[in-house]
Structure 1
Amino acid sequence: MNKIIELQDLGLKDYKETWDYQEQLFKSTVDAKISNRRNNTNIETKNHFLFVEHPHVYTLGKSGDISNLLVDEEQLKVKNASFYKVNRGGDITYHGPGQIVGYPILDLDNFFTDIHKYLRFLEEMIILTLAEYGLKAERSPGETGVWLDVGTPFARKICAMGVRASRWVTMHGFALNVNANLGYFDLMIPCGIRGKTVTSLNVELAQKTVDESEVKKKLLKHFKALFEAEFVGSLNIN
């Protein structure tokens, strides 16, 4: 099994351009698997991990409700934001500057063929990373992602997740609020869940900004341990 993961840090990149690039990598892996099955070959499939930061954008999953976006097209333009319907699970999410977005494009046949375990590992990576900053992050029953103060009136989401998988190949991933402008979350009902707020790491730590390159390193450390993988490639460190 190939547990080498090719790491790319794309920096600030348009959502649609990144989505197209994900689809290209995803299709390449799926096509290799189909070819292996049809031709009884053993082409080694590749695994990828993309870090990216997007300009302001709202995305709606295939089972999402458009009414959870609380602004119209003209209001989006005023906010310099865009909107896309996407082919991942989940409802509506926001991406923007100050948010670390990660897109693992893995052939789970190289790791384990269990999508629920995959999502729990992604959540665990976030939970372990936030623990290094002194935060007790948790899962919320029935709600994918990572939260603080679960089960209290102060429950707030710090990381959203939504994935797509076909033939055990994954795409899309997670969005961790690190230095996010939380005002943009007021323009939607986050993940379609009413009555719960959203937070960011810098807000929780009462800091103006948190070093995002440091957070990325911690995320990769925990991902590597959980998936028993090795990374090749490097981060964009300014």
Structure 2
Amino acid sequence: MNKQVQFLDLGMKDYKEVWDFQETLFSGILDVKVKNRREEKNDATPNYLLFTQHPHVYTLGKSGDMQNLLLNEKQLADKGATFYKINRGGDITYHGPGQVVGYPILDLENFFTDIHKYLRFLEDVIIKVMADYGLEGVRSEGETGVWLDVGTPFARKICAMGVRASRWVTMHGFAFNVNADLGYFDNIIPCGIKDKAVTSLNVELRVDKVDEEEIKQKILKYFTELFAAKIVNAEEEVLLRV
């Protein structure tokens, strides 16, 4: 099992551009697996982890409801935002500046073949990061992601998650609100959940801005620990040739 994970921080990138990039890496892993099966080979499959931020964009998962987007095309344009229907699970969410977005593209056969465990591990990564800042991140039963004050009138989500998996290969991932403009969430019913709010780490810590690079390093640390992975830095040009 190959537990090496090629890591790349893409910085600020258009959503569709990164989605296409994910699809390329995802398909490359699947191709290796199909070839192994057909030719009775045992070539190692690669794993990837991408960090990025996106310009303002709303995405709707394959099981989502368009009514949870509260803007028409003109209003989207006025907000400087785009919209995509995509192939992950979950409903509608927002991506924008001030988030740390992570896309693990893993062959889970290199780690464990359990999608629920995979999602719980992603949640645990963020929960551990929040604990470093003195915050208790928790799960909300039946609602993937990381929350605060679940079970109270003040329940609020700080990290959304939605993934796609095929033949144990994953894509899409998590969006952690670190310094997010929460006003953009007013234009949707986030994840289709009407009775819970959304928050950001800087709001919870009552500071103007949280060090996003520090957050990324903490995410890498806990991801490595939980998945027993070895992170290696990659170059975009090299991965594009995969």
TM-score by length of 1: 0.98
SS in 2 for 1:38: helix
The equivalences for 1:1-238 within 5 A come to 1-233=1-233
SS of equivalent to 1:7: strand
SS in 1 for 2:216: helix
Question: How far apart are residue 195 of structure 1 and its match?
Answer: 1.4
3-state SS in 2 of match to 1:150 = coil
Structure 1 residue ranges without an equivalent (≥5): none
Distance 2:44 2:98 in 1: 36
Aligned length: 235
Hey, what's the Cα distance between the residues in 2 that align with 1:51 and 1:199?
20
Identity level (%) = 69
Q: Distance in 2 between matches of 1:129 and 1:209?
A: 16
Q: How far off is 1:108 after superposition?
A: 0.3
Once the 2 structures are TM-superposed, how far is the Cα of residue 197 of structure 1 from its aligned partner?
0.5
Q: Distance in 2 between matches of 1:92 and 1:65?
A: 8
Shift of 1:42: 1.4
Encode CA deviations 1:154-178: one digit per residue, 9 max, x unaligned.
0000000000000000000000000
Instruction: Give the CA deviation at 1:234.
Output: 6.9
Aligned twin of 2:239: none
CA separation of 1:234/1:203 partners in 2, compared to 1, >3 Å: closer, same or farther? farther
Query: Which 4+ runs in 1 deviate beyond 4 A?
Result: none
Whichever residue aligns with residue 232 of structure 1, its letter is V
CA distance in 2, matches of 1:73, 1:44: 45
- The 2-side partners of 1:22 and 1:165 are apart by 12
Aligned-residue offset at 1:43 = 1.5
Distance 1:141 1:44 in 2: 36
Could you tell me whether the CA contact under 8 Å between 2:6 and 2:234 is conserved in 1?
A: no
Cα RMSD of the aligned pairs, angstroms, is: 0.9
For residues 18-70 of structure 1, what are the alpha-carbon distances to aligned partners after superposition, in whole Å with 9 as ceiling and x for unaligned? 00000000000001000000000111100000000000000000000000000
Letter of the structure 2 residue corresponding to residue 100 of structure 1:
V
Scaled by the length of structure 2, what TM-score is found?
A: 0.96
